[in-house]
Amino acid sequence: MTHRTATTRTAWATGRVSAERATVIGAAVDKLSPTIPEQVVEDAQVDLGDHAQSLTFTQLQVAGDTPR
């Protein structure tokens, strides 16, 4: 994970998402272009964290790999 994944690290540290799911979200964020505004990156992490509560691990991986 990079400096852009602070929101995901916080979600993991507070127990909102598991380490496995945080890794999936972090990997998705790391794939984003550096030209994408930080607020958009943060919003994407929040959205994936929300979805992590109801999606299976595989579904979350697919969601993280799907361009929006």
pLDDT tens per residue across span 16-34: 999 999 999 999 999 999 9
The Cα angle at residue 45 between residues 20 and 16, in degrees rounded to 5: 50
Per-residue pLDDT tens listing for the chain (68 residues):
678 899 999 999 999 999 999 999 999 999 999 999 999 999 999 999 999 999 999 999 999 886 55
Q: What is the pLDDT of residue 65?
A: 87
* CA dist., res. 32 & res. 22, Å (int): 16
